[in-house]
Amino acid sequence: MLNATRMPQYDAIIIGSGPNGLAAAIRLAQQGWKTLVLEGADTVGGGMRTKELTKPFHLHDVCSAIHPMGVASPFFRSLDLESHGLRWIHPDLPLAHPLDGGRAVLLHRSLQETAAGLGKDSGRYRFFFESLAAHANELYGDLLAPARLPRHPLLMARFGMGAGLPASVFARYFSTPEARALFAGNAGHSVMPFHLPLTSAIGLVLQTAAHAGGWPIPEGGSQSMANAMVSLLTSLGGEVRCNTPVKSFADLPDARAYLFDISPRNLARMCGRELPQAYRYKLERFRHGPGVFKVDYALHHSIPWANENCHRAGTVHLGGTLEEITRSERDAWQGRHSDNPFVLVSQPSMLDPIRAPAGRHVAWAYCHVPHGSTEDRLEVITRQIERFAPGFRDCIAATSTLNTSQMESYNPNYIGGDVVGGITDWRQLFTRPAGLFQPYATPHPKIYLCSASTPPGGGVHGMCGYWAAECVLKRVRK
């Protein structure tokens, strides 16, 4: 028990030190609140951790690796994290998407260069993405917020023209296999089958982000971002305690507000006695989607991509055509394992030499699998990389894998291996986490939820925590 006497010591206690928990703590500390962050693990970060998973001095990102939303987030942009040690590294290319036969479609930071590489789809690409990229900051302000009247309705309407469509429909706005494949890979981050409405949204966000701010990595790994946030928080008077798991609400010291950076189901378990039965029932019924199987590779040398341009990219999407990626995402959703899965690859040591010893490299890869799957997908992922990088097997010095069960053991928020905070279909996107008008508050006046299971959802942007903190500031007297 952390404090049985319940003596008031803090204005706010935040449970969980992921990007949203730390963002909530920083926002409250900015307003003069005395804050305490409790983390059960031995290091801060949640999905922003970097560890030696394979061999000594090989630094692997355990979860998040590439951070387009880290530089897009309105709240993160307002913080001077660079003065607290964060340094962004931008790859020459945000993304490469190789195709069979040594071809590759490239997503440049320059919209014009990207469009020029799409042949007869060049005009269509510019028509749809130019205005979104030119006004990206205004767009993010509306997208990365709870449901409300947009401040830029015409811009949101333009975004919504494509975002509300199934990815399989929007992809056919383009006529070439290259443009369709590029969009399919980005839409695959939705972790939903492409026939469902709204599955285009994440694809549009990611491609817009590439042109507006890039897809950078933090020097030294994702842990660097968590460390910078902690440094800022402590400079504001906040406190952080690791190795402090919270089993029950009753274990917590007294405070004016408690913000939980955890999944709805875990909130129901941890605070069950404090919440009405009907509300607990809604939390327990929160739906989680497919999981991920992740592989970290220690490599003797860089990945031998068939297309040389892939060496210039921080992220590489493997899955071939729109049709192949569509099948892969449908399989995971319907409980099947794909023989040719859509695989996401990050190769950070191509940009950041401190991630591996001289001449060596690390790579990060995962594919989507059925919820709760424990099947070993190492060989399947390796084979998919080998398909576009012949000789890749000869590069491998060591591997480390995480199936969905191990992902959930690592982070209890990743229920069934779901790393995006829950399904974002039309049934749950606008009602997460429990269908309340105020998504961050609960029926208990002191208990709030600030995880990726609240709006605006998954991603390393901290906006769930920011908006939860804003809710607390409006509702709770200091």
CB 58 within 8 A of CB 360: yes
Instruction: Please tell me the predicted confidence (pLDDT) of residue 373.
Output: 98
Q: Is the pLDDT of residue 364 over 80?
A: yes
144-153, 360-369, 452-461: lowest mean pLDDT where?
144-153
Class of domain 88-217+289-410: alpha beta
Q: What is the spatial distance between Cα 86 and Cα 81, in angstroms, rounded to a whole number? A: 6
Give the burial string for 72-98 (b: 16+ CB within 10 Å, else e): bbbbbeebebeebbbebeebebbbbbb
Q: Where are the domains of the chain?
A: 8-40+244-287+421-475, 88-217+289-410
Q: What is the spatial distance between Cα 289 and Cα 266, in angstroms, rounded to a whole number? A: 16
Instruction: Please tell me the predicted confidence (pLDDT) of residue 426.
Output: 84
CB 240 within 8 A of CB 230: yes
Q: Is the pLDDT of residue 264 over 50?
A: yes
List the Cα angle 144/293/88 in 5-degree steps. Answer: 45
List all residues 6 or more positions away from 52 whose beta carbon is below 8 Å from its beta carbon: 58, 59, 60
Instruction: Please tell me the predicted confidence (pLDDT) of residue 147.
Output: 84
| Helices 322-333/177-187 angle, 10° precision | 20
CB 20 within 8 A of CB 464: yes
Right CATH for 8-40+244-287+421-475 from 3.10.180.10, 3.40.50.9100, 3.50.50.60, 3.40.50.2300: 3.50.50.60
In the chain, % of residues over pLDDT 90: 94
Tokens standing for 39?
């983390």
Q: Is the pLDDT of residue 4 over 50?
A: no
Question: Averaged over 212-237, what is the pLDDT?
Answer: 98
Q: What is the spatial distance between Cα 213 and Cα 4, in angstroms, rounded to a whole number? A: 48
Instruction: Please tell me the predicted confidence (pLDDT) of residue 2.
Output: 53
How much is the mean pLDDT over the chain?
95
Instruction: Please tell me the predicted confidence (pLDDT) of residue 1.
Output: 44
325 secondary structure, DSSP code:
H
Runs of H (alpha helix) within 101-176 = 111-116, 122-134, 136-143, 153-163, 167-170
Number of H helices, E strands in the chain: 18, 16
Q: Is the pLDDT of residue 436 over 80?
A: no
Per-residue pLDDT band at 396 (split at 50, 70, 90): very high
List all residues 6 or more positions away from 455 whose beta carbon is below 8 Å from its beta carbon: 145, 146, 147, 432, 439, 464, 467
Q: What is the pLDDT of residues 125-179, one digit of tens each?
A: 999 999 999 999 999 999 999 988 889 999 999 999 999 999 999 999 999 999 9
Tokens standing for 241?
């305690």
97-101, 195-199, 219-223, 422-426: lowest mean pLDDT where?
422-426
Radius of gyration of the chain (CA): 21
Number of Cβ within a 10 Å radius of residue 148: 8
Question: Averaged over 107-114, what is the pLDDT?
Answer: 98
Q: What is the pLDDT of residues 79-91, one digit of tens each?
A: 999 999 999 999 9
Q: What is the pLDDT of residues 370-394, one digit of tens each?
A: 999 999 999 999 999 999 999 999 9
Edge-first strand order for the sheet with 291-299 is: 104-107, 93-98, 313-318, 343-346, 361-369, 291-299, 396-402
Q: Is the pLDDT of residue 5 over 50?
A: no
